[in-house]
Amino acid sequence: MSESPPEEGYDHAAVERRWQEAWDETDAYRTPDDATDPTYVLGMYPYPSGQLHMGHVRNYTITDAYARYRRMCGDSVLHPMGWDAFGLPAENAAKERDTNPRDWTLDCIETMRGQMESMGFGYDWDREVTTCTPDYYKWNQWLFERFSEEGLVEREAAEVNWCPNCETVLADEQVEGDDERCWRCGTPVEQRELDQWFLKITEYADELVDGLDDLEGWPDSVRQMQRNWIGRQEGARVSFDVSGRGEVEAFTTRLDTIHGATFFALAPDHPISEELAAADDDVRRFLEEEADPDGDEPNGVATDLTATNPATGEEVPVFVADFVLSDVGTGALMGVPGHDDRDHAFAEKMGVDIVPVVAPAPADGEADDGEPTPPDVSDAAYTDDGVLVNSGEYDGLASAEARERLTAAIDSAESHVQYRLRDWGISRQRYWGTPIPVVHCDDCGPVLVPEAELPVELPEFVNTTGNPLDAAEEWKRTTCPDCGGEAVRETDTMDTFVDSSWYFLRYVSPDLGDAPFDVDRANDWMPVEQYVGGIEHAVMHLLYARFVTKVVADMEMLEHREPFERLLAQGMVQLDGEKMSKSKGNVVSPQRIVDEYGADTARLFMMQAAQPERDFDWSEEGVRSTYRFLTRLKRTVEAFDADAADASGVDPDDPVAAYVDGEVDAAVAVATEEYDTLTFNTALREAQGLVSTLRNYREHADGVDDAVFRRGLTVAVRLLAPVAPHLCETLHEELGGEGFVVDADWPASDADVETAERRRRLVENTRGDVRNIVDVAGIDEPERVDVVVAPDWKHRALEIALDSDAPNLVGELMGHDEIREHGDAAADYGKDLQAEREALTPALSPDAEYDALTAAAWLVEREFDAPVRVLRADEADDSVARKAEPGRPAIDIAE
RNA sequence: GCGAGGGUGGCCGAGCCUGGCCAAAGGCGGCGGACUUAAGAUCCGCUCUCUCAGGAGUUCGAGGGUUCGAAUCCCUUCCCUCGCACCA
């Protein structure tokens, strides 16, 4: 299948096949039921479209790498996978291919599972969950019934998109274009009122929004999106007495502006508007011809009604206006043109009075003479809070206080919290979903199917227009569980978001026959510690899952009220800055990449390309570079003689080995921190840097210390193993490791990252300086390079300077004998320190500098092909040595 | 309009939380060299400008500020992406 590897790579196909089989044979990724509090790592399960795409690969590589990392750290890990297997695409595919959704879906799952295996994702397949199986959707039905018992299910009429040709409801996304046509047949979509089943998520609106504050492991963006979506508004309801119609309620968040309410407006479909239309030609014409709720212009029509402002007692005109929406608030509002932009525009258009009743609060410094100046609202509304004016006895009150007092004072006013969130309509007039477990009886109405009769299974698929369940006459006909009379089954199925709102609980006990999940185990294993998926689910899925978790908790089946502790919304994989999509034809197939370069390369490239939450561009060059890196690594390990004498410990007299050993520690320390926070890109950079260091070491030092080199390779392999597991298994074996690298211990390091970085910097700066000198001075062939470490007293002086807060640093330094004895040199250095005082940073000790430079000398020797001497200050000529400073050795190059 | 995130050298991308060691990691691309019959692979070096032995100048969307010192902190402004929106 794969062509010969590009360039001279390694045989990734053989490596990957071998380890996938080995893992499989040993059930390497099994999480036993008796695991105690495993770390639960989860990627959002996919819709089985039949093809794994790059988004999936990225998503699941993130969870896989993290799961493997935690496992190497010694955790027991739960990392399952399943299928969001219901949904309309399968119905369409089945019709096109003359098969049925079930077979089609199961085929797709088969294919995708194979692709996941070829990516090397370490899932516990024994916990696989497939939502379209009766074993699973039975529990959707069961939960629906429990919800019903809790009073959280409601059946009511709702407006839906209806295609008269296909005879089915369409989701909003399936209505195309401004002229709203059916995506499948192009028929104009109608609105139709249908009886629909709802789950009362609004009962949990407060907890859902308040709980966001504590979800510190979630990105702010997602939390904000959920807040917006729930749209909690605190305000007041207040009634205006409308002539001949009684009290009409309006909702407002600005009751403080009620004295400026100079008109009242009704939604076009408000009952009063509809009544008026029957008698009033103007209103009828407006409703039929002019009203345009989608337009930008606020349009309206005057009525012959007036409303009494309960605060002022004044009669104000009543309009029917298209910017008043019946599904917002009460479908009626008080118009305050002085303090609301839209009301202002409307009042200008209709010639209504505009009265300012809130003035800007006097700034702190300003003299408070008790007479705030009303703002000029003739051109624009003043929409901020402030101090009341023109409001009778409320004048002078701050807006917030005025709202409270007015709410208390006005009879018809009461505090009210309003939400944008609507109850969750779960009815779908489609075949490929969970049948809603209800029977309709002429006498008893809708009746739940008894629990013992669950699941209500789907009948055979019938290729028909409209809802196949409606056409399944035999299936439909049943008897009423209550009275035994003739009855018909509910033909609606559930929204597939119902399936996904609890699937993470099913993984805990996927085969359990008498409950959706094992309560004790779920209490121990939940919540999901790290959840990873696309941002497109920020609201719907993630909100529904939170809702269902809370309800289940209230049914005393779970001790957790939030399902996902930490959430990562992973970025997109793009090509040339554009989202990959079939329609643009810019899709890079993961399969092709796996064939050509292997799964390890694909995974490693993706993880090092960018932080997981950021979008990044796919780059074929980057992939090749990654592939070459793996190839190099493999060769490096192979070249290392695994049977080399097992020297124990580091030879303390070999500074180069000590240096490399220190680099190994540093890499571990840095990479571990980064793995913890899922910043794989920087962790991997460290691992790759370590491999370069090791290669340089072997190539150019006078013989390597086997123990150090072995440890370096072992560490590099382990740091890379979570991301490139197949090759790392091979290398682990090559290095004589026991068992799987999957089960190996994460390397430990007691390295001080600070010191390691200081050392690196010293070496880098020194090398840079040598280059600089050679370059600037035009030295062609250096004969010898001397690197001289600053004398102890300068280090001491720096230490003193760092601690000192004396105004005269030179004076303070001269108070120390060991410094003063260096006379002018000490004074000069003291002045330098004084000048740089604020910028001083600690340096390594003289010995540490000496060791670090000695260890790195070979780097310079190799580069300039000249012998390097690292000297202590007292070993060098004073004319050179005196230029040395801590962190900045003196350099002398002989031509 | 409101809210969130982002703008870094030819490109991608670290750094920004916790200011100084930042002309700014790493990769890609480009240039030069080693190896090679050659190409590829591999390895070494260079890749903002000037330079008199490690120096100087200009740079991190733009402008201003704080500070001895700003890619990093604060304000203003422009641009991009995303979410919400006649929401009362």
Which pLDDT score, from 0 to 100, does residue A649 have?
A: 53
Integer distance in angstroms from CA A505 to C1' B25? 43
Which pLDDT score, from 0 to 100, does residue A168 have?
A: 75
pLDDT digits (tens, 9 = 90+) for A502-523: 999 999 999 999 999 999 999 9
Integer distance in angstroms from CA A624 to C1' B13? 17
Pick from A25-39, A487-501, A572-586, A820-834: least confident: A572-586
Asked, for residue A3, whether it belongs to a domain, the answer is no
On the 0-12 / 13-18 / 19+ scale of CB atoms within 10 A, A535 is middle
Residue A833, pLDDT > 90, answer no
The nt closest to A265 (CA vs C1′) is B88
Distance CA A553, CA A310 (A): 45
Which pLDDT score, from 0 to 100, does residue A370 have?
A: 60
Q: How many of the other CB atoms lie within 10 Å of CB of A671?
A: 29
Integer distance in angstroms from CA A357 to C1' B65? 38
The nt closest to A762 (CA vs C1′) is B21
Asked, for residue A75, whether it belongs to a domain, the answer is yes
Integer distance in angstroms from CA A601 to C1' B46? 29
Residue A845, pLDDT > 90, answer no
Highest mean pLDDT of the ranges A537-546, A648-657, A759-768: A537-546
pLDDT band at A650 (very low <50, low <70, confident <90, very high): low
Residue A642, pLDDT > 70, answer no
Residues A444 and A407 in one domain: no
The answer to whether A269 and A331 are in contact (CB under 8 A) is: yes
pLDDT band at A2 (very low <50, low <70, confident <90, very high): very low
Residue A648, pLDDT > 70, answer no
Which residues, other chains included, contact A757 with Cβ-Cβ below 8 Å and sequence gap of 6+?
A666
Asked, for residue A307, whether it belongs to a domain, the answer is yes
Which of A751, A783, A800 represents a domain boundary (last residue)?
A751
The nt closest to A889 (CA vs C1′) is B54
Which pLDDT score, from 0 to 100, does residue A500 have?
A: 95
Pick from A222-231, A459-468, A636-645, A774-783: least confident: A636-645
Integer distance in angstroms from CA A768 to C1' B58? 21
Integer distance in angstroms from CA A835 to C1' B67? 16
Asked, for residue A127, whether it belongs to a domain, the answer is yes
Integer distance in angstroms from CA A7 to C1' B38? 16
The nt closest to A859 (CA vs C1′) is B44
Q: Which CATH number fits the domain that encloses residue A620?
A: 1.10.730.10
| B25 nearest neighbour residue (CA to C1') | A685
Residue A111, pLDDT > 50, answer yes
Asked, for residue A91, whether it belongs to a domain, the answer is yes
What order of strands is seen across the sheet that includes strand A438-441? Answer: A445-448, A438-441, A486-489, A477-479
The nt closest to A613 (CA vs C1′) is B5
DSSP, collapsed to helix, strand or coil, labels residue A172 as helix
Residue A676, pLDDT > 80, answer yes
The nt closest to A322 (CA vs C1′) is B86
CA R_g for chain A: 37
Which nucleotides of chain B have an atom under 7 angstroms from any protein CB?
3-5, 12-15, 20-22, 25-29, 40-46, 51-55, 68-69, 82-88
| B87 nearest neighbour residue (CA to C1') | A328
Sign of CA dihedral A641, A642, A644, A647: positive
Residue A413, pLDDT > 50, answer yes
Residues A323 and A445 in one domain: no
Highest mean pLDDT of the ranges A272-281, A450-459, A778-787, A874-883: A450-459
Integer distance in angstroms from CA A768 to C1' B24? 15
pLDDT digits (tens, 9 = 90+) for A465-479: 778 898 899 999 999
Integer distance in angstroms from CA A182 to C1' B36? 65
pLDDT band at A807 (very low <50, low <70, confident <90, very high): confident
pLDDT band at A7 (very low <50, low <70, confident <90, very high): very low
**E strands along A626-710, which residues?**
none
Distance CA A872, CA A849 (A): 10
Number of domains in chain A: 6
pLDDT band at A644 (very low <50, low <70, confident <90, very high): low
Residues A706 and A779 in one domain: no
Which pLDDT score, from 0 to 100, does residue A557 have?
A: 92
User: What is the residue range of A385's domain?
Assistant: 233-418
A31 φ, ψ (degrees, to nearest 5): -110, 110
A104 residue type, one letter: W
Residues A618 and A726 in one domain: yes
pLDDT digits (tens, 9 = 90+) for A701-724: 667 788 888 899 999 999 999 999
Residue where the block lists tokens 């199925």: A493
Integer distance in angstroms from CA A803 to C1' B68? 18
Residues A625 and A647 in one domain: yes
Integer distance in angstroms from CA A284 to C1' B9? 66
Residues A237 and A375 in one domain: yes
Residues A747 and A759 in one domain: no
Residues A134 and A160 in one domain: no
Nearest to A566 by CA among A124, A214, A204: A214
The number of residues making up chain A comes to 895
| ipTM for this model | 0.90
Which of A570, A604, A620 represents a domain boundary (last residue)?
A570
| B20 nearest neighbour residue (CA to C1') | A839
DSSP, collapsed to helix, strand or coil, labels residue A478 as strand
The nt closest to A335 (CA vs C1′) is B88
| B1 nearest neighbour residue (CA to C1') | A341
Which of A702, A723, A751 represents a domain boundary (last residue)?
A751
Which pLDDT score, from 0 to 100, does residue A6 have?
A: 43
pLDDT band at A1 (very low <50, low <70, confident <90, very high): very low
pLDDT (average), residues A275-279:
90
Sign of CA dihedral A60, A721, A666, A684: negative
Q: Please give the mean pLDDT across all residues of chain A.
A: 88
Asked, for residue A424, whether it belongs to a domain, the answer is no
Residues A359 and A504 in one domain: no
Integer distance in angstroms from CA A357 to C1' B19? 48
Residues A349 and A307 in one domain: yes
Pick from A10-19, A140-149, A152-161: least confident: A152-161
Asked, for residue A227, whether it belongs to a domain, the answer is no
Integer distance in angstroms from CA A756 to C1' B36? 39
Integer distance in angstroms from CA A672 to C1' B47? 33
**How many secondary structure helices (H) and strands (E) does chain A include?**
31, 33
The nt closest to A841 (CA vs C1′) is B21
Pick from A118-127, A138-147, A297-306: least confident: A297-306
pLDDT digits (tens, 9 = 90+) for A426-463: 998 889 999 999 999 999 999 999 999 999 999 999 88
The nt closest to A774 (CA vs C1′) is B53
Distance CA A247, CA A258 (A): 16
pLDDT digits (tens, 9 = 90+) for A52-101: 988 899 999 999 999 999 999 999 999 999 999 999 889 989 988 989 99
CB neighbour burial string for A300-331, b if at least 16 within 10 angstroms, e if fewer: bbbbebbbbbbbbeeebbbbbbbbbebeebbb
Nearest to A499 by CA among A135, A229, A122, A114: A135
The nt closest to A681 (CA vs C1′) is B14
Asked, for residue A429, whether it belongs to a domain, the answer is no
Give the C-alpha distances (Å, rounded to integers) separating A540 from A41, A56, A436, A530. Answer: 21, 19, 20, 19
DSSP, collapsed to helix, strand or coil, labels residue A528 as strand
Integer distance in angstroms from CA A855 to C1' B32? 29
The nt closest to A233 (CA vs C1′) is B87
Residue where the block lists tokens 């932080």: A611
The nt closest to A699 (CA vs C1′) is B43
Which pLDDT score, from 0 to 100, does residue A708 have?
A: 87
Q: What are the residues facing A163 on neighbouring strands? A: A168
Integer distance in angstroms from CA A874 to C1' B23? 35
Residue A652, pLDDT > 70, answer no
On the 0-12 / 13-18 / 19+ scale of CB atoms within 10 A, A365 is exposed
Distance CA A528, CA A548 (A): 15
Residues A404 and A480 in one domain: no
Give the C-alpha distances (Å, rounded to integers) separating A558 from A43, A216, A500, A532. Answer: 22, 21, 17, 22
Integer distance in angstroms from CA A784 to C1' B10? 37
pLDDT band at A651 (very low <50, low <70, confident <90, very high): low
Tell me what percent of the residues of chain A surpass a pLDDT of 70.
Answer: 95
Highest mean pLDDT of the ranges A252-266, A359-373, A767-781, A784-798: A252-266
Integer distance in angstroms from CA A8 to C1' B37? 20
The nt closest to A252 (CA vs C1′) is B88
The nt closest to A770 (CA vs C1′) is B54
Integer distance in angstroms from CA A684 to C1' B11? 21
Residues A475 and A507 in one domain: no
